[in-house]
Amino acid sequence: MNEILYLVIPCYNEEAVLQETAKRLKQKLTTMIQNGQISKDSKICFVNDGSKDNTWNMIEDLHTQDAMFIGVKLSRNSGHQNALMSGLLTVKNDADMVISLDADLQDDVNAIDQFVAEYYNGCDVVYGVRSSRKKDTFFKRFSAEAFYKLLNSFGCEVIYNHADYRLLSKRALDALEEYKEVNLFLRGIVPMVGFKTGTVLYERNERFAGESKYPLRKMMLFAIDGITSLSIKPIKLIISIGLLFFFCSICMLIYFFARHFTGHTVSGWTSLAVSIWGIGGLQLLAIGIIGEYIGKVYMETKNRPRYIIEKILK
């Protein structure tokens, strides 16, 4: 039963919260070790994603003071998903199971016991799912719900109200490593891995300190990345809209011929202007969507590394 658990926490400018995060996570793992739930070799891995503050120095201090803490330093800011992936793949050969969570203490650390229990019940993937969004503002709740509905409507298989608080077994991590794409969207890739899955409900807390790294603009860009990385439905949608406009143009042509032969003239200036602007906007939108896919193909064909690790503390 006493298998090795690693916690992987991506960090970007988290000096305001890191000490408290380390304290609470150490307390949790120490208690679980004493209760015989996990091995005494379990560790906490902080991944420094090119932070501009004192985050990495704090990680080094934690590692010096306590061997339970280890660290991964990326050479530059590579983005949350790449930072998370780097941590997962760095520790996967040393751990039986890995739980990823954010550094801001919004993910309830007390739910870790339930994750481990689900793992011992045979689950290779366990998703942390928010039980409610009562603490969110109306705008935050509305935008988050729209985010998940938008992803699912475009064929992206994501777990509703699940972010990146999850457990992966070593077997699941080995399978995840097979996905080589540069444009990472782990919320959509992990469900593709398969294996037996479980769910843990938890109440998400307020951020302990610091500022959110995902304002509305980043959430929108994140949604676009997710859709274009996992689905080609937007391109199919362009085809459908194009066919609809073509059908409308045939109907309008028949209508104008009928008006002409019955002796009625058509002024047409307003409808012409609207048509030009509407079709022009549609064309620009279509070109933009296609360009997004071409850009992603371009980045994938370069085969550049997703991240570069500068230093590892073990």
Residue 132 lies in a domain: yes
Residues of the chain with pLDDT under 70: 1, 132-148, 150-156, 205-236, 238-243, 245-278, 280-282, 284-285, 288, 292, 295-296, 298-300, 302
Please indicate, yes or no, whether residues 241 and 129 belong to a single structural domain of this protein: no
Please indicate, yes or no, whether residues 203 and 294 belong to a single structural domain of this protein: no
- Which pLDDT score, from 0 to 100, does residue 246 have? 62
- Which pLDDT score, from 0 to 100, does residue 253 have? 61
Please indicate, yes or no, whether residues 173 and 105 belong to a single structural domain of this protein: yes
Q: Are 306 and 78 in contact (CB under 8 A)?
A: yes
- Which pLDDT score, from 0 to 100, does residue 118 have? 92
Q: Are 131 and 165 in contact (CB under 8 A)?
A: no
What secondary structure letter does DSSP report for 3?
Answer: B
Please indicate, yes or no, whether residues 139 and 277 belong to a single structural domain of this protein: no
Residue 219 lies in a domain: no
pLDDT in tens, 49-86: 989 989 999 999 999 999 999 999 999 888 888 898 99
Cα–Cα distance measured from residue 302 to residue 56, given in angstroms and rounded to the nearest whole number: 30
- Which pLDDT score, from 0 to 100, does residue 223 have? 62
How is the beta sheet containing 69-74 ordered, strand by strand? 197-202, 125-130, 162-169, 97-100, 5-11, 43-48, 69-74, 309-313
95 Rama sector, left if φ>0, alpha if ψ -120 to 50, beta otherwise: beta
Number of H helices, E strands in the chain: 10, 8
- Which pLDDT score, from 0 to 100, does residue 108 have? 86
Cα–Cα distance measured from residue 73 to residue 51, given in angstroms and rounded to the nearest whole number: 9
Exposed (0-12), middle (13-18) or buried (19+): which is 122, by Cβ within 10 Å?
A: exposed
Cα–Cα distance measured from residue 215 to residue 195, given in angstroms and rounded to the nearest whole number: 33
122 Rama sector, left if φ>0, alpha if ψ -120 to 50, beta otherwise: left
CA distances from 65 to 51, 103, 161 (A): 21, 19, 36
Residue 224 lies in a domain: no
- Which pLDDT score, from 0 to 100, does residue 267 have? 61
Closest CA to 63 of 83, 47, 81, 84: 47
Q: Are 39 and 5 in contact (CB under 8 A)?
A: yes
pLDDT in tens, 9-41: 999 998 888 999 999 999 999 999 999 888 999
- Which pLDDT score, from 0 to 100, does residue 204 have? 76
Structural domain count of the chain:
2
Residue 300, helix vs strand vs coil:
helix
Residue 223 lies in a domain: no
Cα–Cα distance measured from residue 303 to residue 224, given in angstroms and rounded to the nearest whole number: 21
Residue 180 lies in a domain: yes
Please indicate, yes or no, whether residues 148 and 265 belong to a single structural domain of this protein: no
Please indicate, yes or no, whether residues 160 and 14 belong to a single structural domain of this protein: yes
Residue 217 lies in a domain: no
Q: Are 203 and 130 in contact (CB under 8 A)?
A: yes
Please indicate, yes or no, whether residues 132 and 28 belong to a single structural domain of this protein: yes
Domain that holds residue 276: 233-302
Please indicate, yes or no, whether residues 18 and 88 belong to a single structural domain of this protein: yes
Cα–Cα distance measured from residue 22 to residue 301, given in angstroms and rounded to the nearest whole number: 39
We report the CATH number of the domain holding residue 32 as 3.90.550.10
Residue 115 lies in a domain: yes
- Which pLDDT score, from 0 to 100, does residue 73 have? 93
- Which pLDDT score, from 0 to 100, does residue 65 have? 92
Please indicate, yes or no, whether residues 67 and 159 belong to a single structural domain of this protein: yes
Give Cβ neighbours of residue 144 (< 8 Å, ≥ 6 apart): 133, 136, 161, 219
- Which pLDDT score, from 0 to 100, does residue 106 have? 85
Beta strands in the chain (DSSP E): 5-11, 43-48, 69-74, 97-100, 125-130, 162-169, 197-202, 309-313
- Which pLDDT score, from 0 to 100, does residue 278 have? 62
Cite the DSSP H helix spans in 154-268.
Answer: 170-176, 186-193, 216-230, 233-261
Closest CA to 202 of 137, 102, 124, 108: 108
Cα–Cα distance measured from residue 84 to residue 95, given in angstroms and rounded to the nearest whole number: 15
Please indicate, yes or no, whether residues 264 and 161 belong to a single structural domain of this protein: no
Please indicate, yes or no, whether residues 157 and 270 belong to a single structural domain of this protein: no
- Which pLDDT score, from 0 to 100, does residue 220 have? 65
Please indicate, yes or no, whether residues 147 and 184 belong to a single structural domain of this protein: yes
Q: What percent of the chain has pLDDT over 70?
A: 63
Round the CA-based radius of gyration of the chain to a whole number and report it. Answer: 25
Residue 226 lies in a domain: no
